[in-house]
Structure 1
Amino acid sequence: MELLRLKTVPCTFLRRLNRFVALVEVDGEERRALVTNTGRLEEFMIPGRRAFCTPRSGGKTDFVLVAFEDLNGRGAVIDTRTQAKAFERALELGLIPWLRNCRIKRKEITVGKSRLDYLFECPWGEVYAEMKSAVLRGGDNGEYAMYPDCPSVRGRKHIMELIGLSKAGKNAMIFFIGAMPGVEKFRPYRRGDPEIAKLLAEAEKAGVEIHALSLSLLADGRVVLERPSLYIELEEDF
Protein backbone atom coordinates (compact mmCIF):
# COMPACT_ATOMS: atom_id res chain seq x y z
CA MET A 1 0.00 0.00 0.00
CA GLU A 2 1.42 3.37 -1.05
CA LEU A 3 1.80 5.82 1.84
CA LEU A 4 3.95 8.61 0.41
CA ARG A 5 5.50 9.62 -2.88
CA LEU A 6 8.91 11.28 -2.69
CA LYS A 7 10.90 13.15 -5.32
CA THR A 8 14.02 11.04 -5.02
CA VAL A 9 17.27 11.25 -6.97
CA PRO A 10 19.83 8.43 -7.16
CA CYS A 11 22.98 9.10 -5.18
CA THR A 12 26.07 7.22 -4.08
CA PHE A 13 27.13 7.23 -0.45
CA LEU A 14 30.76 8.29 0.01
CA ARG A 15 31.25 8.78 3.74
CA ARG A 16 29.68 10.15 6.90
CA LEU A 17 31.21 13.47 7.85
CA ASN A 18 29.58 13.67 11.27
CA ARG A 19 26.46 12.55 13.06
CA PHE A 20 24.14 14.63 10.89
CA VAL A 21 25.92 15.07 7.56
CA ALA A 22 27.04 12.62 4.88
CA LEU A 23 28.98 13.16 1.69
CA VAL A 24 27.23 11.73 -1.37
CA GLU A 25 27.75 11.83 -5.12
CA VAL A 26 24.91 13.15 -7.27
CA ASP A 27 25.35 13.37 -11.05
CA GLY A 28 29.10 13.04 -10.68
CA GLU A 29 29.44 15.82 -8.07
CA GLU A 30 30.16 15.54 -4.34
CA ARG A 31 27.31 17.02 -2.30
CA ARG A 32 26.39 17.17 1.36
CA ALA A 33 23.27 15.38 2.60
CA LEU A 34 21.42 15.65 5.89
CA VAL A 35 21.28 12.47 7.99
CA THR A 36 18.36 12.48 10.45
CA ASN A 37 19.01 9.02 11.87
CA THR A 38 21.47 9.09 14.79
CA GLY A 39 22.17 5.35 14.68
CA ARG A 40 25.53 4.13 13.41
CA LEU A 41 23.93 2.51 10.34
CA GLU A 42 27.15 0.65 9.60
CA GLU A 43 25.21 -2.00 7.67
CA PHE A 44 24.30 0.62 5.07
CA MET A 45 26.90 3.37 5.24
CA ILE A 46 29.45 1.64 3.05
CA PRO A 47 31.39 3.81 0.60
CA GLY A 48 30.09 3.30 -2.92
CA ARG A 49 26.69 2.00 -1.88
CA ARG A 50 23.77 3.18 -3.99
CA ALA A 51 21.29 5.35 -2.11
CA PHE A 52 18.32 7.67 -2.58
CA CYS A 53 18.32 11.38 -1.73
CA THR A 54 15.70 14.12 -1.84
CA PRO A 55 16.53 17.76 -2.69
CA ARG A 56 16.69 20.18 0.20
CA SER A 57 16.63 23.99 0.15
CA GLY A 58 18.29 26.06 2.84
CA GLY A 59 20.76 25.05 5.48
CA LYS A 60 24.23 23.63 5.00
CA THR A 61 23.15 20.56 3.04
CA ASP A 62 21.73 20.19 -0.47
CA PHE A 63 19.95 16.87 0.02
CA VAL A 64 18.43 14.56 2.61
CA LEU A 65 19.78 11.01 2.64
CA VAL A 66 16.49 9.12 2.68
CA ALA A 67 17.28 5.49 1.93
CA PHE A 68 19.83 2.91 0.82
CA GLU A 69 19.20 0.41 -1.94
CA ASP A 70 18.55 -2.92 -0.26
CA LEU A 71 16.65 -5.98 -1.51
CA ASN A 72 15.29 -6.39 -5.04
CA GLY A 73 15.83 -2.72 -5.83
CA ARG A 74 13.78 -1.58 -2.85
CA GLY A 75 15.23 0.89 -0.39
CA ALA A 76 15.73 0.70 3.37
CA VAL A 77 14.40 4.01 4.67
CA ILE A 78 16.82 5.51 7.19
CA ASP A 79 15.29 9.01 7.28
CA THR A 80 13.32 9.22 10.52
CA ARG A 81 11.14 12.08 9.24
CA THR A 82 10.02 9.98 6.29
CA GLN A 83 9.38 7.06 8.64
CA ALA A 84 7.18 9.25 10.83
CA LYS A 85 5.24 10.70 7.89
CA ALA A 86 4.66 7.24 6.47
CA PHE A 87 3.47 5.92 9.83
CA GLU A 88 1.09 8.85 10.29
CA ARG A 89 -0.35 8.31 6.82
CA ALA A 90 -0.86 4.60 7.54
CA LEU A 91 -2.65 5.53 10.77
CA GLU A 92 -4.83 8.02 8.91
CA LEU A 93 -5.78 5.34 6.36
CA GLY A 94 -6.71 2.88 9.11
CA LEU A 95 -4.02 0.40 8.08
CA ILE A 96 -2.53 -0.28 11.51
CA PRO A 97 -4.50 -2.98 13.35
CA TRP A 98 -3.03 -2.24 16.77
CA LEU A 99 -4.19 1.40 16.51
CA ARG A 100 -7.57 0.79 14.92
CA ASN A 101 -9.88 3.84 15.14
CA CYS A 102 -7.17 5.89 16.88
CA ARG A 103 -6.01 9.39 16.02
CA ILE A 104 -3.08 11.57 16.97
CA LYS A 105 -4.17 13.92 19.73
CA ARG A 106 -0.77 15.56 20.31
CA LYS A 107 2.87 15.20 19.35
CA GLU A 108 6.01 15.72 21.43
CA ILE A 109 4.50 15.04 24.84
CA THR A 110 6.59 15.90 27.90
CA VAL A 111 6.63 13.04 30.40
CA GLY A 112 8.99 13.35 33.33
CA LYS A 113 12.35 14.42 31.91
CA SER A 114 11.64 13.02 28.45
CA ARG A 115 9.54 13.81 25.42
CA LEU A 116 7.47 11.07 23.86
CA ASP A 117 6.50 11.19 20.20
CA TYR A 118 2.74 10.77 20.38
CA LEU A 119 -0.38 10.90 22.47
CA PHE A 120 -3.09 8.91 20.69
CA GLU A 121 -6.79 9.15 21.32
CA CYS A 122 -8.28 5.66 21.01
CA PRO A 123 -11.67 4.10 21.79
CA TRP A 124 -10.14 2.58 24.95
CA GLY A 125 -8.56 5.86 26.10
CA GLU A 126 -5.43 7.95 25.63
CA VAL A 127 -2.21 6.14 24.74
CA TYR A 128 1.27 7.57 25.34
CA ALA A 129 3.61 6.28 22.65
CA GLU A 130 7.20 6.42 21.48
CA MET A 131 8.36 5.53 17.96
CA LYS A 132 11.82 4.07 17.25
CA SER A 133 13.65 3.41 14.00
CA ALA A 134 14.68 -0.23 13.52
CA VAL A 135 16.95 -0.37 10.46
CA LEU A 136 19.36 -3.11 11.45
CA ARG A 137 18.75 -6.46 9.79
CA GLY A 138 19.26 -9.73 11.64
CA GLY A 139 18.43 -13.43 11.58
CA ASP A 140 19.68 -16.27 9.39
CA ASN A 141 17.47 -15.10 6.52
CA GLY A 142 17.48 -11.39 7.33
CA GLU A 143 13.92 -11.61 8.59
CA TYR A 144 14.40 -9.46 11.71
CA ALA A 145 14.32 -5.68 12.07
CA MET A 146 16.36 -4.78 15.15
CA TYR A 147 16.96 -1.83 17.48
CA PRO A 148 19.28 -0.27 18.56
CA ASP A 149 22.51 -0.62 16.59
CA CYS A 150 24.48 1.25 19.29
CA PRO A 151 24.00 2.29 22.95
CA SER A 152 21.14 4.76 23.41
CA VAL A 153 20.77 6.59 26.72
CA ARG A 154 17.80 8.46 25.26
CA GLY A 155 16.13 5.21 24.26
CA ARG A 156 16.55 3.82 27.78
CA LYS A 157 14.97 6.94 29.29
CA HIS A 158 11.97 6.69 26.98
CA ILE A 159 11.33 3.05 27.88
CA MET A 160 11.63 3.80 31.60
CA GLU A 161 9.13 6.65 31.25
CA LEU A 162 6.70 4.28 29.50
CA ILE A 163 7.12 1.70 32.25
CA GLY A 164 6.34 4.40 34.82
CA LEU A 165 3.22 5.46 32.92
CA SER A 166 1.97 1.89 32.67
CA LYS A 167 2.55 1.25 36.37
CA ALA A 168 0.60 4.43 37.08
CA GLY A 169 -2.40 2.98 35.26
CA LYS A 170 -2.01 4.78 31.93
CA ASN A 171 -1.88 3.24 28.46
CA ALA A 172 1.71 3.17 27.19
CA MET A 173 3.18 1.90 23.94
CA ILE A 174 6.49 1.70 22.11
CA PHE A 175 6.53 0.79 18.43
CA PHE A 176 9.29 0.22 15.92
CA ILE A 177 9.51 1.13 12.26
CA GLY A 178 11.23 -1.78 10.55
CA ALA A 179 12.01 0.33 7.51
CA MET A 180 13.55 -2.41 5.38
CA PRO A 181 12.10 -4.63 2.67
CA GLY A 182 11.38 -8.24 3.52
CA VAL A 183 11.47 -8.14 7.31
CA GLU A 184 8.83 -10.15 9.16
CA LYS A 185 9.81 -9.90 12.83
CA PHE A 186 11.26 -7.50 15.38
CA ARG A 187 13.69 -8.14 18.20
CA PRO A 188 16.00 -5.90 20.26
CA TYR A 189 19.67 -6.01 19.31
CA ARG A 190 21.28 -7.04 22.55
CA ARG A 191 24.83 -6.36 21.34
CA GLY A 192 23.83 -2.81 20.46
CA ASP A 193 22.53 -2.04 23.94
CA PRO A 194 21.90 -4.91 26.39
CA GLU A 195 20.15 -2.54 28.80
CA ILE A 196 17.49 -1.69 26.22
CA ALA A 197 16.86 -5.38 25.56
CA LYS A 198 16.38 -5.87 29.30
CA LEU A 199 14.13 -2.81 29.62
CA LEU A 200 11.88 -3.93 26.77
CA ALA A 201 11.30 -7.26 28.49
CA GLU A 202 10.54 -5.37 31.70
CA ALA A 203 8.22 -3.01 29.84
CA GLU A 204 6.20 -5.88 28.41
CA LYS A 205 5.77 -7.36 31.88
CA ALA A 206 4.66 -3.94 33.16
CA GLY A 207 1.92 -3.75 30.53
CA VAL A 208 3.57 -1.52 27.93
CA GLU A 209 2.36 -2.47 24.47
CA ILE A 210 5.16 -3.30 22.02
CA HIS A 211 4.49 -3.29 18.28
CA ALA A 212 6.32 -2.98 14.98
CA LEU A 213 5.53 -2.49 11.31
CA SER A 214 7.60 -2.59 8.14
CA LEU A 215 7.86 -0.30 5.15
CA SER A 216 10.22 0.29 2.24
CA LEU A 217 10.98 2.68 -0.61
CA LEU A 218 10.36 1.73 -4.23
CA ALA A 219 12.70 2.89 -6.97
CA ASP A 220 10.10 5.38 -8.25
CA GLY A 221 9.98 7.20 -4.90
CA ARG A 222 6.91 5.55 -3.41
CA VAL A 223 7.07 4.65 0.28
CA VAL A 224 4.95 1.55 0.79
CA LEU A 225 3.63 -0.30 3.81
CA GLU A 226 4.86 -3.89 3.66
CA ARG A 227 3.57 -5.42 6.89
CA PRO A 228 1.32 -3.51 9.31
CA SER A 229 2.32 -5.78 12.18
CA LEU A 230 5.56 -7.67 12.79
CA TYR A 231 5.99 -10.57 15.19
CA ILE A 232 7.66 -9.33 18.38
CA GLU A 233 10.37 -11.46 19.93
CA LEU A 234 11.85 -10.32 23.24
CA GLU A 235 14.68 -11.95 25.15
CA GLU A 236 13.92 -13.23 28.63
CA ASP A 237 17.29 -14.69 29.69
CA PHE A 238 18.78 -11.91 31.79
Structure 2
Amino acid sequence: MLFDPPLQPARLIARYKRFLADVVTPAGETFTLHCANTGAMTGCATPGDTVWYSTSTSLTRKYPHSWELTETQTGDWICVNTLRANQLVREALALQLIPELSGYDRCQAEIKYGSEKSRIDFLLQAEGRRNCYIEVKSVTLLQQGKGYFPDAVTLRGQKHLRELSTVAQAGHRAVLLFTVLHSGIEDVSPARHIDAAYAEQLVQAHKSGVELLAYQASLSTSGMLINKSLPIAL
Protein backbone atom coordinates (compact mmCIF):
# COMPACT_ATOMS: atom_id res chain seq x y z
CA MET A 1 0.00 0.00 0.00
CA LEU A 2 1.57 3.27 -1.16
CA PHE A 3 1.08 6.81 0.06
CA ASP A 4 0.78 8.95 -3.05
CA PRO A 5 2.01 11.56 -2.65
CA PRO A 6 4.38 10.64 0.21
CA LEU A 7 3.43 11.80 3.69
CA GLN A 8 4.51 15.12 5.11
CA PRO A 9 5.95 15.71 8.63
CA ALA A 10 4.84 17.92 11.51
CA ARG A 11 5.43 18.01 15.25
CA LEU A 12 2.54 17.01 17.51
CA ILE A 13 1.30 19.71 19.86
CA ALA A 14 -1.71 17.82 21.29
CA ARG A 15 -4.46 15.38 20.42
CA TYR A 16 -7.95 16.26 21.70
CA LYS A 17 -11.65 15.47 21.24
CA ARG A 18 -10.48 12.03 20.03
CA PHE A 19 -10.62 12.96 16.34
CA LEU A 20 -8.50 16.12 16.27
CA ALA A 21 -4.86 17.03 16.78
CA ASP A 22 -2.89 20.24 16.53
CA VAL A 23 0.52 20.12 14.85
CA VAL A 24 3.24 22.51 13.72
CA THR A 25 5.19 22.03 10.49
CA PRO A 26 8.98 22.46 10.11
CA ALA A 27 8.18 25.81 8.47
CA GLY A 28 6.31 26.93 11.58
CA GLU A 29 2.73 26.62 10.28
CA THR A 30 0.22 25.43 12.90
CA PHE A 31 -3.00 23.66 11.91
CA THR A 32 -5.52 21.03 13.02
CA LEU A 33 -5.68 17.62 11.37
CA HIS A 34 -8.13 14.72 11.54
CA CYS A 35 -7.31 11.62 13.60
CA ALA A 36 -9.15 8.48 12.44
CA ASN A 37 -8.65 6.62 15.70
CA THR A 38 -11.23 6.27 18.48
CA GLY A 39 -8.91 4.39 20.85
CA ALA A 40 -6.79 5.54 23.75
CA MET A 41 -3.68 5.75 21.51
CA THR A 42 -1.48 5.10 24.54
CA GLY A 43 2.14 5.81 23.62
CA CYS A 44 1.13 6.89 20.11
CA ALA A 45 0.37 10.56 20.70
CA THR A 46 3.03 12.10 22.93
CA PRO A 47 3.51 15.84 22.40
CA GLY A 48 6.76 16.35 20.53
CA ASP A 49 6.41 13.17 18.44
CA THR A 50 6.63 13.53 14.66
CA VAL A 51 3.28 13.21 12.93
CA TRP A 52 3.27 12.11 9.29
CA TYR A 53 0.09 13.22 7.54
CA SER A 54 -1.69 12.85 4.21
CA THR A 55 -3.71 15.57 2.50
CA SER A 56 -7.06 15.07 0.80
CA THR A 57 -7.96 16.83 -2.43
CA SER A 58 -11.63 16.99 -1.39
CA LEU A 59 -12.95 20.54 -1.20
CA THR A 60 -15.70 19.60 1.28
CA ARG A 61 -13.53 18.36 4.13
CA LYS A 62 -13.27 20.68 7.11
CA TYR A 63 -9.89 19.16 8.03
CA PRO A 64 -8.12 18.11 4.80
CA HIS A 65 -5.06 16.66 6.56
CA SER A 66 -5.16 13.14 8.10
CA TRP A 67 -2.79 11.75 10.71
CA GLU A 68 -1.34 8.53 9.30
CA LEU A 69 1.88 7.66 11.17
CA THR A 70 3.65 8.58 14.38
CA GLU A 71 7.43 8.59 14.58
CA THR A 72 8.08 8.53 18.32
CA GLN A 73 10.92 10.30 20.06
CA THR A 74 12.42 6.86 20.80
CA GLY A 75 12.46 5.92 17.09
CA ASP A 76 9.42 3.66 16.79
CA TRP A 77 6.98 3.92 13.89
CA ILE A 78 3.23 3.52 14.46
CA CYS A 79 0.28 3.65 12.08
CA VAL A 80 -2.47 5.41 14.05
CA ASN A 81 -5.04 5.51 11.24
CA THR A 82 -7.10 2.43 12.15
CA LEU A 83 -8.82 2.50 8.74
CA ARG A 84 -5.53 1.34 7.24
CA ALA A 85 -5.57 -2.05 9.01
CA ASN A 86 -8.36 -3.48 6.85
CA GLN A 87 -6.86 -1.95 3.71
CA LEU A 88 -3.55 -3.63 4.47
CA VAL A 89 -5.23 -6.98 5.14
CA ARG A 90 -7.28 -6.77 1.95
CA GLU A 91 -4.07 -6.16 0.00
CA ALA A 92 -2.25 -8.98 1.82
CA LEU A 93 -5.09 -11.41 1.05
CA ALA A 94 -5.06 -10.45 -2.63
CA LEU A 95 -1.28 -10.89 -2.83
CA GLN A 96 -1.35 -14.16 -0.80
CA LEU A 97 1.04 -12.67 1.79
CA ILE A 98 -0.53 -14.55 4.70
CA PRO A 99 0.09 -18.29 4.11
CA GLU A 100 -2.57 -19.40 6.60
CA LEU A 101 -5.19 -17.49 4.61
CA SER A 102 -4.06 -18.27 1.07
CA GLY A 103 -5.75 -20.48 -1.51
CA TYR A 104 -9.17 -18.83 -1.56
CA ASP A 105 -10.57 -17.37 -4.78
CA ARG A 106 -13.36 -15.20 -3.39
CA CYS A 107 -13.04 -12.41 -0.82
CA GLN A 108 -15.93 -10.30 0.44
CA ALA A 109 -15.77 -7.48 2.97
CA GLU A 110 -18.23 -6.24 5.60
CA ILE A 111 -20.61 -9.20 5.37
CA LYS A 112 -23.48 -9.39 7.87
CA TYR A 113 -23.39 -12.48 10.07
CA GLY A 114 -24.12 -13.83 13.53
CA SER A 115 -26.95 -13.63 16.02
CA GLU A 116 -25.70 -10.29 17.41
CA LYS A 117 -26.01 -8.54 14.03
CA SER A 118 -22.29 -8.18 13.40
CA ARG A 119 -20.33 -7.58 10.21
CA ILE A 120 -17.29 -9.73 9.53
CA ASP A 121 -14.32 -7.84 8.10
CA PHE A 122 -13.58 -10.48 5.45
CA LEU A 123 -15.21 -13.69 4.27
CA LEU A 124 -13.02 -16.00 2.19
CA GLN A 125 -14.52 -18.76 0.07
CA ALA A 126 -13.31 -21.44 -2.32
CA GLU A 127 -14.80 -24.55 -3.85
CA GLY A 128 -14.29 -27.55 -1.57
CA ARG A 129 -13.04 -25.48 1.38
CA ARG A 130 -14.72 -24.27 4.55
CA ASN A 131 -15.81 -20.65 4.62
CA CYS A 132 -13.24 -18.53 6.45
CA TYR A 133 -14.45 -15.61 8.59
CA ILE A 134 -11.76 -13.05 9.48
CA GLU A 135 -12.01 -10.34 12.13
CA VAL A 136 -9.19 -7.76 11.98
CA LYS A 137 -7.85 -5.96 15.04
CA SER A 138 -5.23 -3.19 14.92
CA VAL A 139 -2.48 -3.48 17.55
CA THR A 140 -0.49 -0.37 18.52
CA LEU A 141 -0.07 -0.66 22.30
CA LEU A 142 3.52 -1.31 23.44
CA GLN A 143 4.25 -1.58 27.17
CA GLN A 144 7.37 -3.01 28.83
CA GLY A 145 8.51 -4.35 25.49
CA LYS A 146 5.26 -6.26 24.87
CA GLY A 147 2.44 -5.69 22.40
CA TYR A 148 -1.11 -5.74 23.77
CA PHE A 149 -4.71 -5.66 22.58
CA PRO A 150 -6.97 -3.91 23.41
CA ASP A 151 -5.77 -0.51 24.60
CA ALA A 152 -9.15 0.21 26.23
CA VAL A 153 -12.13 -1.85 27.42
CA THR A 154 -13.91 -3.13 24.31
CA LEU A 155 -17.45 -4.47 24.56
CA ARG A 156 -17.54 -4.55 20.76
CA GLY A 157 -14.43 -6.73 20.73
CA GLN A 158 -16.04 -9.11 23.20
CA LYS A 159 -19.09 -9.38 20.93
CA HIS A 160 -16.84 -10.24 18.00
CA LEU A 161 -15.25 -13.06 19.99
CA ARG A 162 -18.67 -14.50 20.78
CA GLU A 163 -19.65 -14.36 17.11
CA LEU A 164 -16.40 -15.98 15.98
CA SER A 165 -16.79 -18.76 18.55
CA THR A 166 -20.25 -19.55 17.21
CA VAL A 167 -18.89 -19.64 13.65
CA ALA A 168 -16.10 -22.04 14.68
CA GLN A 169 -18.51 -24.31 16.52
CA ALA A 170 -20.67 -24.44 13.38
CA GLY A 171 -17.73 -25.94 11.49
CA HIS A 172 -16.41 -22.92 9.63
CA ARG A 173 -12.98 -21.35 9.95
CA ALA A 174 -13.02 -18.38 12.32
CA VAL A 175 -9.88 -16.23 12.43
CA LEU A 176 -8.94 -13.31 14.65
CA LEU A 177 -6.14 -11.46 12.86
CA PHE A 178 -4.07 -9.03 14.93
CA THR A 179 -2.61 -6.50 12.49
CA VAL A 180 0.44 -5.08 14.27
CA LEU A 181 1.06 -1.48 13.24
CA HIS A 182 3.92 -0.66 15.62
CA SER A 183 7.56 -1.28 14.69
CA GLY A 184 8.60 -1.94 18.30
CA ILE A 185 6.18 -4.83 18.93
CA GLU A 186 7.65 -8.34 18.70
CA ASP A 187 4.75 -10.40 20.09
CA VAL A 188 1.09 -9.92 20.99
CA SER A 189 -0.81 -10.71 24.20
CA PRO A 190 -4.32 -9.96 25.46
CA ALA A 191 -4.25 -6.90 27.72
CA ARG A 192 -5.55 -8.44 30.94
CA HIS A 193 -4.53 -5.34 32.87
CA ILE A 194 -6.88 -3.28 30.69
CA ASP A 195 -9.78 -5.59 29.84
CA ALA A 196 -9.72 -8.82 31.84
CA ALA A 197 -13.06 -9.93 30.42
CA TYR A 198 -11.77 -9.66 26.85
CA ALA A 199 -8.59 -11.54 27.71
CA GLU A 200 -10.51 -14.43 29.27
CA GLN A 201 -12.98 -14.51 26.40
CA LEU A 202 -10.10 -14.63 23.92
CA VAL A 203 -8.70 -17.72 25.64
CA GLN A 204 -12.11 -19.40 25.59
CA ALA A 205 -12.67 -18.48 21.95
CA HIS A 206 -9.34 -20.05 21.03
CA LYS A 207 -10.35 -23.23 22.89
CA SER A 208 -13.61 -23.28 20.94
CA GLY A 209 -11.72 -23.32 17.64
CA VAL A 210 -11.08 -19.66 16.80
CA GLU A 211 -7.69 -19.34 15.08
CA LEU A 212 -5.39 -16.55 16.27
CA LEU A 213 -2.90 -14.90 13.92
CA ALA A 214 -0.64 -11.86 14.29
CA TYR A 215 1.07 -10.17 11.36
CA GLN A 216 3.17 -7.03 11.45
CA ALA A 217 3.37 -4.40 8.73
CA SER A 218 6.48 -2.56 7.65
CA LEU A 219 5.86 1.19 7.92
CA SER A 220 7.39 4.11 6.04
CA THR A 221 6.39 7.52 4.76
CA SER A 222 6.02 6.11 1.25
CA GLY A 223 3.96 3.02 2.08
CA MET A 224 3.11 0.01 4.25
CA LEU A 225 3.02 -3.74 3.71
CA ILE A 226 2.14 -6.74 5.88
CA ASN A 227 5.28 -8.89 5.86
CA LYS A 228 6.02 -10.60 9.17
CA SER A 229 4.32 -13.19 11.36
CA LEU A 230 4.53 -12.58 15.12
CA PRO A 231 3.93 -14.96 18.04
CA ILE A 232 0.86 -14.68 20.25
CA ALA A 233 1.20 -15.32 23.97
CA LEU A 234 -2.06 -16.08 25.74
Q: TM-score, normalised on structure 2?
A: 0.88
Provide the rounded CA distance (Å) in 2 between the counterparts of 1:116 and 1:23.
34
Question: What residue identity is the alignment partner of 2:180?
Answer: G
Provide the rounded CA distance (Å) in 2 between the counterparts of 1:30 and 1:100.
45
Name which of structure 1's ranges 191-200 and 23-32 shifts more when overlaid on structure 2.
23-32
| Cα distance, 1:103–1:136 mapped onto 2, change above 3 Å | farther
**Residues 85, 136 of structure 2: 8 Å contact kept:** no
Q: Which runs of 5+ in 2 are unaligned?
A: none
| Cα distance, 1:195–1:136 mapped onto 2, change above 3 Å | same
**Residues 76, 216 of structure 1: 8 Å contact kept:** no
Which residue does 1:150 correspond to in 2? 152
> Which of 172, 176, 179 is the aligned partner of 1:177?
179
Provide the rounded CA distance (Å) in 2 between the counterparts of 1:55 and 1:162.
37
> Which of 63, 66, 78 is the aligned partner of 1:61?
63
| Root mean square deviation of aligned Cα | 2.0
Which residue does 2:134 correspond to in 1? 129
Question: SS of the counterpart of 2:2?
Answer: strand
Give the drift of 1:96.
Answer: 0.8
Give the drift of 1:232.
Answer: 1.2
Which residue does 2:22 correspond to in 1? 23
Equivalences for residues 85-104 of structure 1 within 5 A = 85-103=87-105
Which residue does 1:4 correspond to in 2? 2
Does the alignment pair 1:215 with 2:217? yes
| Cα distance, 1:181–1:213 mapped onto 2, change above 3 Å | same
Over 3 Å off, 4+ runs: 70-74
Which residue does 1:41 correspond to in 2? 41
Give the drift of 1:168.
Answer: 2.1
Provide the rounded CA distance (Å) in 2 between the counterparts of 1:71 and 1:215.
20
Provide the rounded CA distance (Å) in 2 between the counterparts of 1:85 and 1:72.
27
| Cα distance, 1:210–1:62 mapped onto 2, change above 3 Å | same
TM-superposition CA deviations, 1:71-95 (whole Å, max 9, x none): 8856211112222222222222221
Question: SS of the counterpart of 1:4?
Answer: coil
Q: TM-score, normalised on structure 1?
A: 0.87
Provide the rounded CA distance (Å) in 2 between the counterparts of 1:4 and 1:38.
24
Question: What residue identity is the alignment partner of 1:120?
Answer: L
Provide the rounded CA distance (Å) in 2 between the counterparts of 1:19 and 1:70.
19
Question: What residue identity is the alignment partner of 1:145?
Answer: G
Give the drift of 1:105.
Answer: 2.4
Question: SS of the counterpart of 1:183?
Answer: coil
TM-superposition CA deviations, 1:194-213 (whole Å, max 9, x none): 11111110110000111110
Equivalences for residues 67-86 of structure 1 within 5 A = 67-70=69-72, 75-86=77-88
**Residues 104, 118 of structure 1: 8 Å contact kept:** no
